[in-house]
Amino acid sequence: MNWNCNRCNFELVEVQKDILFQIIEELNPNFIGLPKDWKSLTFDWIKICPRCNSYPLGLDFEKGFSIRTKSGDRTTIHDLDFVKAHQHTEFQKEILISEKAGCFYCLEIFSPDEIDDWHGEKCKEYEPLALCPKCGIDSIIGDESGFPIEPEFLSKMKDFWFSPSERSKTMNALPAE
């Protein structure tokens, strides 16, 4: 059974039919890749791409809708590792005490000592964001985050966070922010 999206090749998750009906009632999204006959399917769980449909699954909300991963874990989009890891780009002190850091844009792995530039250093409300010493993008996490600073994990983060946004295709019923 295929667990990869036909559009973007990202690993699929499953959503219960009842949850799909709830999402449609609340948000009226255009699910990308949802089988046209999903309502008549005899099983309760429908496979859907969390990258192509991140906004209908609740990425913009404080709490996302319930999903099930390939391994059978029940979770929400916010609790997927590659989504949770993103918040660690905002933890300057954590990055600085890490033994290694990685950029999930250019996929380079390096010592935090190589980071010379920080975005927002003068801001008092937020910690500055590390700019990658290789590509200059603010997509750095350190190993003190608890997430693996390895090419495979960084690549999954890149696929999720830097692929073209599907917001306008999936959530066109909502006003733009």
Q: What pTM does this model have? A: 0.85
What residues contact residue 142 under an 8 Å CB cut-off, 6+ apart?
A: 88, 91, 94, 95, 96, 97, 98, 99, 100, 101, 112, 149
Residue-level pLDDT at 43: 87
Residue-level pLDDT at 172: 61
Residue-level pLDDT at 34: 86
Q: Which of 168, 172, 154 minimizes the C-alpha distance to 104?
A: 154
State phi, psi for 167 to the nearest 5 degrees.
-55, -50
Residue-level pLDDT at 76: 96
End-to-end CA distance of the chain: 38
Q: Write out residues in the chain with pLDDT < 70, as ranges.
A: 1, 121-126, 172-177
